[in-house]
Structure 1
Amino acid sequence: MILAQRPHTGASPDATHETLTLRAISYRTTGSGHGAIVRLMSPGDLGHLIKPFVFLDLFEGESSFINGMPMHPHSGIATVTLITEGNLRFEDAESGKGMIDYGGVEWMRAGAGVWHGKEMSVGTSKRIQGFQLWIALPPELENTSVDSQYLESGAMPEVGPARVILGAYQGVKSPVRAPAGMNYLLVTLRAGESWRYVPPEGHESLWLSVSRGSLSAPSVVMAGEMVVFAPGDGAVTLKAMHKDTVFVIGSAKPHPYELALGNYSVHTNRLALRAGEANIAEIGSRLREYLKQPQGSDSMPFFE
């Protein structure tokens, strides 16, 4: 469910300039649930407003739900899987083996097409929580080769209470090979602690979602909510309320392309979408033949 919120305009005559220039919340949503997964944003709703961010899931539950993830295709996008509680194991021919826990990331650029879904498995924690974000790729990347990275939490740089997942902030740059022009941060605030985010120049799109605790933004944002701020270049001051609070915040330069949508794909035009969908169909045919062979394994992480 998505609700519009009118900007507050009742500032008193003696309000400070800071109060007068607060970045208003335009939309808020608690999404729709699908078992352990809550879909907060899709390309057809909020994703259309804050592209290149086009899709956001909040997942939470028994870690074993990861075993039920089927192989599935994508093209034209990149996915960012970020852990905020618990841990998952990864195994990849290039990245090796390891554990992704709080602040750890899987980056997967689908490009021209890939089938995936088995690259991570249950770790040592009984429960797991995190976000999966989709990024709409620019034309020069939407039909290019697949690229993936698995980054343990220690590899993710920090600036104050924020981990820089994508982009760069206050001179700190993420190791993720994402396109320029966007930031995605994981922030942890202690109860009562405040933090101010100043978007880089040109980052007109701004949103956040809380996974634990609650924020004053200055209106309250509860755990499980996503909010979208009005377009602009203003900063936001955020305060954790009565509990320690964990949230993600994203900002970006607007994605200047229409969204051509398929079942598993997002592209910048219908021609690129047709090429991506044709490629993932061909990959899927090869995958099915591979799985029929004695050495075929449905636990393989990627097929491209």
Structure 2
Amino acid sequence: MNSISELRVATAVGLRRVTFRTRGSTSGPITRLMSPSDLGQMLKPYVFLDFFELDLHDPRAGFSIHPHSGLATITVITEGDLRFDDATDGTGHIGFGGFEWMRASSGVWHGKELSGGNSRRAKGFQLWIALRPELEHAAVESQYVEAQHVPTTGPAHVILGSYLGVRSPARSPDGITYLLLKLAAGTKWTFVPPTKQTVAWLAVASGRLVGETPAEAGEMVIFEQSEQSVTLEAGSDADAVFVIGAAEPHPYDLHLGDYSVHTSADALAKGEANIERLRRLLVAAGDRRRTGGTIPIFRE
């Protein structure tokens, strides 16, 4: 469970109130800022957020092969880079501004599709998004998008959705906006949420934010639900690198498995049954490791 502190402060006129802050819980190279059983209940469709610092050149590091269903994952890099090597998507590197998008939907097994890149270590965020009924058992999709193919508007890289007329190449559901920013030291930027996207939060990877919404590196901040804009200012000592998300509220209860999030008990049972079926197929498939050391996502 996250260590969460509720802020009981008066709302200044014209400011969007911060309702929660957390620094999460850290285990080794990973800090868990949000899980479906805690802050995910408040921020759905956003249900999970990890901040990581990994050395994937070390074969002992990284994630084990694990399943998902009913959700989508998005991995962005805030420092360094990682390498992908996929039979469908080719080979390349995901650095600052690039991302991996995977809509697990009906079920996948993954965890080794990225390996060490040109940098020794890589830092970034992995986010999960709960899917609506029309997508939670849809066909699986995945994309690796290098930084040069991610559009920007001002300091913002548009990772998911559309912002100020700029659309991400990710095939994500409507009603979700996810941005990665490097805000120059001492400068300000105003986030204007798209219409109806009243859920909003941010998490800082490095540097710090000051002014109306102060936040330190490693901290996640949750805003009250509204369509009000937020003005953010980087501290004068360093650039601030952070992600910010907004979305239309997810109107469904969260039914949780170990690695699955669905909209009903029946949908969860169906997803977990398919994960088990895929596990047996994965075992039968044997060694799928590619020359570069990655293991592609297993799906039908």
In structure 1, runs of 5+ residues without a counterpart are 12-19
Question: Match for residue 297 of structure 2?
Answer: 302
Q: Which amino acid aligns with 1:191?
A: A
Deviation sequence 1:193-248 (CA, Å, 0-9, x none): 00000101101100000000001252420000001001111100000013110000
The change in CA–CA distance for 1:149 and 1:267 in structure 2 (over 3 A counts) is same
Structure-2 separation of matches of 1:276 and 1:209 = 30
1:202 paired to 2:196: yes
Given that residues 207 and 234 in structure 2 are in contact (C-alpha distance below 8 angstroms), is that contact kept between their aligned partners in structure 1?
yes
Pairing 1:284–2:279 present: yes
Counterpart in 1 of 2:98?
104
Residue type at the aligned position of 1:264: Y
The question of whether the paired residues in 2 share the 8 Å contact of 1:6 and 1:25 is answered with no
Name structure 2 gaps, 5 residues minimum. Answer: none
TM-score normalised by length of structure 2 = 0.94
Q: CA separation in 1, counterparts of 2:179 and 2:298?
A: 29
Structure 1 residue 287: deviation in Å? 1.2
Task: Decide which of 34, 41, 44 is 1:48's aligned counterpart.
Answer: 41
Q: 1:55 to 1:217 in 2, by over 3 A?
A: farther
CA distance in 2 between partners of 1:275 and 1:284 (Å): 14
Match of 1:25 in 2: 18
Give 2:88's match in structure 1, choosing from 90, 94, 99: 94
Letter in 1 for 2:142: S
Instruction: Please identify the structure whose Cα radius of gyration is greater.
Output: 1
Equivalent residues of 2:41, 2:254 under 8 A apart: yes
Q: CA 1:217 to 1:300, structure 2 compared with 1: closer, same or farther past 3 Å?
A: same
Taking only the aligned residue pairs, the percentage that are identical comes to 53
Between the aligned partners of 1:53 and 1:114, the Cα distance in structure 2 is 19
The corresponding residue for 1:180 is 174
**CA deviation after TM superposition for structure 1 residue 296, in Å:** 4.9
Check whether the contact 2:198–2:225 (CA below 8 A) recurs between aligned residues.
yes
Aligned to 1:262: 257
Residue 255 of structure 1 aligns to a residue whose secondary structure is coil
In the TM superposition, what is the alpha-carbon distance from 1:297 to its structure 2 partner? Answer: 4.0
Q: How many Å separate the matches in 2 of 1:296 and 1:262?
A: 26
Kept in 2, the 8 Å contact 1:91–1:120? The answer is yes
Match of 2:183 in 1: 189
* 1:112-151 Cα distance to aligned partner (Å, 9 max, x none): 0000111111111012100000010111110111100000
Q: 1:303 deviation in Å?
A: 1.3
Letter in 2 for 1:128: A
SS at match of 1:175: coil
Residue 58 of structure 1: aligned partner: 51
Residue 239 (str. 1) matches residue 233 (str. 2) = yes
The CA distance in 2 between the partners of 1:116 and 1:50, in whole Å, is 25
State yes or no: 1:4 paired with 2:13. Answer: no
Number of matched pairs: 292
> Structure 1 segments of 4 or more deviating over 6 A?
none
How far off its partner does 1:21 sit? 1.7
Task: Give how far 1:302 is off.
Answer: 1.4
